[in-house]
Amino acid sequence: MKILVTGGCGFIGGHLCELLVKKGHKVVSLDDLSTGSLSNVAGLKKCKKFSFVKGSICNARLVDRLVKESDAVFHLASVVGVKLVCDEPVRTIETMADGTSVVIKACRKYMKKVLVASTSEVYGKGSRVPFCESDDTVMGATCIRRWAYANCKAMDEFLALAHYYEAKLPVVIVRFFNTVGPRQTGMYGMVVPRFVKAALNDEPITVYDDGKQSRCFCHVLDVVEAVEKLMFHCPAAIGQVINVGNPKEVTIGDLAKFVKRQLKSKSEIKNISFEEAYPGGGFEDMRRRVPCIKKVKKLIGFRPKRTLKDIVRDVAESIKAGNK
pLDDT digits (tens, 9 = 90+) for 35-77: 899 999 999 989 999 999 999 999 999 999 999 999 999 999 9
> What's residue 76's pLDDT?
97
Highest mean pLDDT among 91-100, 194-203, 314-323: 194-203
- Give the Cα separation of 32 and 177 in Å (integer): 24
* Known catalytic membership, residue 208: no
Burial class (CB in 10 A: 0-12, 13-18, 19+), 127: exposed
Q: Which of 110, 123, 149, 208 is catalytic?
A: 149
> What's residue 35's pLDDT?
86
Measured in whole angstroms, how far is the alpha carbon of residue 117 from the centre of its chain? 7
**pTM of structure:** 0.93
8 Å CB contact between 16 and 5: yes
> What's residue 187's pLDDT?
66
- Give the Cα separation of 186 and 111 in Å (integer): 37
Where exactly are the structural domains of the chain?
Answer: 2-179+220-246+290-304
Backbone angles phi, psi at 121, to 5 degrees: -60, -25
> What's residue 92's pLDDT?
76
Measured in whole angstroms, how far is the alpha carbon of residue 124 from the centre of its chain? 16
| Mean pLDDT for the stretch of residues 97-120 | 96
- Say yes or no to pLDDT of 323 above 60: no
> What's residue 148's pLDDT?
85
8 Å CB contact between 85 and 152: no
| Mean pLDDT for the stretch of residues 170-186 | 94
- Give the Cα separation of 245 and 293 in Å (integer): 7
Element (H, E) at 44: none
Measured in whole angstroms, how far is the alpha carbon of residue 108 from the centre of its chain? 24
Correct CATH for 2-179+220-246+290-304 of 3.40.50.1010, 3.40.50.720, 3.40.50.1820, 3.40.50.10280: 3.40.50.720
Q: How many DSSP H helices and E strands does the chain contain?
A: 11, 13
Average pLDDT, the chain: 93
> What's residue 82's pLDDT?
64
Q: Which amino acid is at 192?
A: V
103 in the Ramachandran plot: left (φ > 0), alpha (ψ -120 to 50) or beta? alpha
**DSSP sequence for 18-67:** HHHHHTT-EEEEEE--SS--GGGGGGGTT-TTEEEEE--TT-HHHHHHHH
> What's residue 144's pLDDT?
84
Neighbours of 250 (CB within 10 A): 15
**Across the strands, what pairs with 73?**
4, 114
> What's residue 285's pLDDT?
76
Note the pLDDT tens digit of each residue in 237-288: 999 999 999 999 999 999 999 999 999 999 999 999 878 877 766 667 788 9
